[in-house]
Amino acid sequence: MNGGAAQQSSKTGAAQTGNPEIGESFVDVGLLSGDGAILADEQGFLAQLDLSARHSLAEGARQNPAATSFEVAELANGNIVSLAAARHDVALGWLVPPPACPVGKSSGVIAVCRLSPAGVRGRLKAFGEAFGLSPSVIRTLVALYEHCDVKLAAQHSGVSFNTAREYLTQARAAIWAPNLPRLITWAGVGSLGTDSSGECDHAIGELFSISDRQRLLAGLVADGASRAEAARELGLSEALAKKELAAVFTATGVTNSMGLARLFAELRGLAIATRHARPNDPYAPPASRTLFFSDSEGRKIAVSDYGPTSGKPVLILHNTMNCRGVDRALVNALQGAGYRPISPDRPGYGDTDPAPAQCHGEDYLALCVRDLALVCENMGWETVPVIAHGPVHLVLALQRLRPDLVEKAIIDAPEPDSAFGKKAQGMIPSLKRQFAKRPWAVASLVKILSTLASHERLSTFMRDWTSASPADHAAMSDPALLMDFYRKLLPFRQGRIDGFVREQVMQATIGRPPVQLGLPHLTLLMGATDFMYNADENMEYWRMVLPDANIVIIPDAGRFISYSHPQRLVAELRKGQFSEGTMG
């Protein structure tokens, strides 16, 4: 019965997309229960995965309830396969929808798909025929695509090594491919037989936690560029390109550029099949992998890991008025300097579960610290540097409760308590002063503002509010950076405001922090044209609280220092990187 449902669904998907080439030959789709048990597997590929692999797929989909996740797994025959998984309701939006849920399994069902191996061979054959290749050349091309090695391609297509080389030379000439990686990429993607506007390399970055630069470099090599050509395209030295590609090979497990081309072709195909790239999102976010951890009470903690895994981890703490996420300017600057940005959601923000109902004020801050410590413990990090976009109270709590954990901390655009700021102008400072007067009204106001905060309205608001700050105005006029900013607000629009409300109430009622000494490794960066706070007034405030800290006003910066001056944050992070030790 399940097999029949799968077949019917695939045919329906072909009719709905209007592409007669799409159907069973494009992807294989099966269903798993939340514990990894097989519910539907017409093509038998799920049965070739061991239980731990199936459980990992189900867990990845469960932890990413609104998105498709990607994995690579080993089949029983030893072959490595790229897979996509999502909750059944999410997978209904795939190019080929999954089979219907079995009776009595309306929730917790996970859809899994792969590019159909038989379909790939058939499409490669049709691709070769379109270019006039002979059957023998096509067989060799298919074998090269499957094995990514000329010697193995010769063995599996039943010809000599020299004959295989000659056949592949003919294929390259017909397809205008200067080398074998481009031959594999063009054959793999060009044979999909569907709209490829959703082609996307972000799945590579998310799956293997490589940096944006590594992803772009590897994508160019997969498309047939030489290492030197790819380096020139990205403005890198050949030595750095060699180092970055070595890191990519290590992360992905492939051993040559042909294997890289095959991997990219597979994951690009899966991105198209699962509509991973949204056509209405021209400014896709920096690639990251979502990690989830659970505390002793079962609370879920969500973290975005931007990679690369070889980089030095640095915790990025979000503002009190938005959720986790690192803007592309800072991601690129940090990765370029050898760092690995890690951005967690605090309790009640984004995808992290809320704090217990009675957890407020100092107790809430203590919970935030425990969450960060848990993340570091699970990742095996004894000490980490921190960049905080505003939340001084949290950094001070870290120093107070876990001074061993923080190597050093840089806080840009530090936030005072909500009642502060006689010279502060504009809607947001005025709103925060309203919070100080009426903390019980925070939730109602946030719900109203979240409803109003469409992308179009936000674009207008931010350009207006930042008009007196050239650096901030330039950042909010950049559509890519504005989109990065907007994404951090989306959870609020979806009703997840618990953390926002708790932190705004805390800021409205906690008052000025007491004087804290002994923090020479704490740096506060302020922009001279911050559109929310007067820089001199804010510096005086924090100088009274933190007399030993390094407090700097950047003349040509505003509030969004990470957007306009990411290199300055990196420079502060790197000062005495290997000699300063821990805070405190």
Statement: 2-115 belongs to CATH 3.30.450? yes
Q: Which of 20-34, 155-169, 500-514 has the highest mean pLDDT?
A: 155-169
Residues 6 or more apart whose Cβ sits within 8 Å of residue 83: 57, 70, 71, 72, 73, 112, 113, 114, 270
Residue 555 has pLDDT above 70, yes or no: yes
Digit-coded pLDDT (tens) for 170-184: 999 888 888 999 999
Residue 336 has pLDDT above 60, yes or no: yes
The pair phi, psi for residue 506, each rounded to 5°, is -60, -45
Residue 512 has pLDDT above 60, yes or no: yes
Q: Taking all residues of the chain, what is their mean pLDDT, rounded to a whole number? A: 86
- Of the listed ranges 121-125, 333-337, 552-556, the least confidently predicted one is 121-125
Query: Could you give the CA distance from residue 572 to residue 566 in angstroms, rounded to a whole number?
Result: 10
Query: Could you give the CA distance from residue 323 to residue 448 in angstroms, rounded to a whole number?
Result: 18
Query: Could you give the CA distance from residue 169 to residue 178 in angstroms, rounded to a whole number?
Result: 9
- Tell which wins on pLDDT, 229 or 316: 316
Q: Which of 17-26, 185-194, 306-315 has the highest mean pLDDT?
A: 306-315
Digit-coded pLDDT (tens) for 205-225: 888 888 888 998 999 999 888
- Of the listed ranges 88-92, 137-141, 436-440, the least confidently predicted one is 436-440
Residue 14 has pLDDT above 60, yes or no: no
Query: Could you give the CA distance from residue 539 to residue 368 in angstroms, rounded to a whole number?
Result: 26
Six-digit token string for 344: 């967690």
Q: Which of 7-21, 62-76, 104-118, 335-349 has the highest mean pLDDT?
A: 335-349
Q: Secondary structure of the chain: what % helix, strand, coil (to 5)?
A: 50, 15, 40
- Tell which wins on pLDDT, 375 or 193: 375
What is the pLDDT at residue 583? 31
Q: Residue 318 — pLDDT band, cuts 50, 70, 90? A: very high
What is the 3-state secondary structure of 432-457? Answer: HHHHHHCHHHHHHHHHHHHHHCCHHH
Q: Residue 576 — pLDDT band, cuts 50, 70, 90? A: low
85 membership: H or E segment, kind and range: strand 80-87
Q: Residue 281 — pLDDT band, cuts 50, 70, 90? A: low
What is the pLDDT at residue 59? 86
What is the pLDDT at residue 520? 81
Residue 99 has pLDDT above 60, yes or no: yes
Six-digit token string for 283: 């400014």
The pair phi, psi for residue 301, each rounded to 5°, is -120, 125
Q: Residue 12 — pLDDT band, cuts 50, 70, 90? A: very low
What is the pLDDT at residue 578? 37
For the chain, domain boundaries: 2-115, 120-176, 289-574
What is the pLDDT at residue 448? 64
Q: Residue 428 — pLDDT band, cuts 50, 70, 90? A: low
- Tell which wins on pLDDT, 2 or 132: 132
Six-digit token string for 264: 């990219």
Tell me the percentage of the chain whose pLDDT exceeds 70: 87
Pairing of strands 384-388, 289-294: unpaired
What is the pLDDT at residue 324? 96
What is the pLDDT at residue 107? 76
Q: Residue 275 — pLDDT band, cuts 50, 70, 90? A: confident
Residue 19 has pLDDT above 90, yes or no: no
What is the pLDDT at residue 434? 65
- Tell which wins on pLDDT, 196 or 551: 551
Model pTM score: 0.72
Are 508 and 356 contacting, i.e. CB atoms less than 8 angstroms apart?
no
Helix axes 479-487, 470-477, angle to 10 degrees: 90
Burial of 107 (0-12, 13-18, 19+ CB in 10 A): exposed
Residue 408 has pLDDT above 90, yes or no: yes
Q: CATH number of the domain at 289-574, out of 2.60.120.10, 3.40.50.1820, 3.40.50.720, 3.40.50.300?
A: 3.40.50.1820
Residue 18 has pLDDT above 60, yes or no: no
Q: Residue 354 — pLDDT band, cuts 50, 70, 90? A: very high
Are 192 and 123 contacting, i.e. CB atoms less than 8 angstroms apart?
yes
Residue 127 has pLDDT above 80, yes or no: yes
Rounding to the nearest 10 degrees, give the CA dihedral for residues 510, 511, 512, 517: -30
Residues 6 or more apart whose Cβ sits within 8 Å of residue 110: 31, 32, 33, 34, 57, 58, 61, 62, 85, 86, 87, 88
